[in-house]
Amino acid sequence: MAYNLLKGKKGIIFGALDENSIAWKTAERVHEEGGTFVLTNAPIAMRMGQINELAKKTGSEIIPADATNEEDLANLVSKSMEILGGKLDFVLHSIGMSVNVRKGRAYTDQNYDFTTKGWDVSALSFHKVMQSLYKADAMNEWGSIVALTYMAAQRTFPDYNDMSDNKAYLESVARSFGYFFGKEKKVRVNTISQSPTPTTAGQGVKGFDGFINYAEKMSPLGNATALDCANYTVSLFSDLTKKVTMQNLFHDGGFSNTGVSQEVIEEFSK
């Protein structure tokens, strides 16, 4: 059901790869709620995914951009405002990548060139995106910027590897830049700490099925799906959350506040 929550609002959605992506589901829901947007992803990611299909479905244009490249981002921001006819109301940062994970390197045996690349793509890119928006004065007052994270930023999940550090940095950037964006531009900046979700990127983490099954047993409401996350993101893009900023918002069925569940106790009592 749609409520026209984003009627007249416009923005940029980073990271839609395929129909499993949270960014993909968010784009569909934003479209259903009346929002218009530009889709963007790194050129290499676009070759791997089906972003053209999403663009056609939502009547959106695509601007390829490397989120670690300041020139690409400046071009993305200016062209988006040109295409959409003015300043932006929302931005979704849904980007994450660990070369160490891809290459099977343990956390205790990192290749630091890989580490730096993953940090740049997964975390520093969020600062670069916001700095590009900030310098271009591209956001309307009461606009909303959201990035996706995971609670491995707060708790140790061994196989999440250096992505845990990247997410911790990402959340810190949201708080720090959120202060300046709020004070000077009346723009909100938040992160959503989502349940483990079977996206293409997520499934690249070793032991991912174990992550999901454990979280499902631990969460009173069960895991939040990609569509659930898209709906939550829509609420943060809407005018219903105008005073929510600099927050890391757990969207995980209660996992983050559960010490242990009866299901887990029973599993280990067998």
Q: Identify the CATH number of the domain in which residue 17 sits.
A: 3.40.50.720
Closest CA to 198 of 208, 207, 189: 208
pLDDT at 30 over 90: yes
Output the pLDDT for position 71: 98
Q: Which residues contact 170 (CB under 8 A, 6 or more apart)?
A: 122, 123, 126, 147, 149, 153, 191
pLDDT at 263 over 70: yes
201 — pLDDT class (breaks 50, 70, 90): low
pLDDT at 208 over 80: no
DSSP string computed for 100-117 = HHHTT--GGG--HHHHHH
Residue that wins the pLDDT comparison between 47 and 235:
235
Sequence ranges of the binding site: 15, 21-22, 95, 167
Of 45-49, 54-58, 210-214, 253-257, the poorest mean pLDDT is in: 45-49
Computed over every residue of the chain, the mean pLDDT equals 95
pTM attached to this predicted model: 0.96
CA pseudo-torsion sign 59, 64, 65, 71: negative
pLDDT at 203 over 80: no
* In-domain check, residue 3: no
* In-domain check, residue 1: no
* In-domain check, residue 4: no
Sequence ranges of the binding site for NAD(+): 15, 21-22, 95, 167
* In-domain check, residue 255: yes
* In-domain check, residue 30: yes
- pLDDT mean over 125-148: 98
Output the pLDDT for position 202: 64
The number of domains in the chain is: 1
pLDDT at 187 over 80: yes
* In-domain check, residue 215: yes
Residue that wins the pLDDT comparison between 199 and 134:
134
Residue that wins the pLDDT comparison between 45 and 117:
117
- pLDDT mean over 49-76: 96
Catalytic residues: 150, 160
CA distances to 38, 179, 232, 235 from 6, in Å: 15, 24, 13, 9
CA 193-231-215 angle, to 5 degrees, is 40
CA pseudo-torsion sign 182, 188, 191, 192: positive
As a whole number of angstroms, the distance between CA 22 and CA 49 comes to 13
As a whole number of angstroms, the distance between CA 219 and CA 189 comes to 26
Output the pLDDT for position 257: 97
Share of the chain above pLDDT 90, in %: 89
pLDDT digits (tens, 9 = 90+) for 171-184: 999 999 999 999 99
Of 11-25, 35-49, 233-247, the poorest mean pLDDT is in: 35-49
As a whole number of angstroms, the distance between CA 265 and CA 56 comes to 48
133 — pLDDT class (breaks 50, 70, 90): very high
Containing domain of residue 68, as a range?
10-269
- pLDDT mean over 236-262: 97
Amino acid letter, 63: I
231 — pLDDT class (breaks 50, 70, 90): very high
* In-domain check, residue 235: yes
Residues 134, 185: contact at Cβ < 8 Å?
yes
Output the pLDDT for position 48: 76
pLDDT at 44 over 90: no
- pLDDT mean over 86-106: 97
Residue that wins the pLDDT comparison between 210 and 232:
232
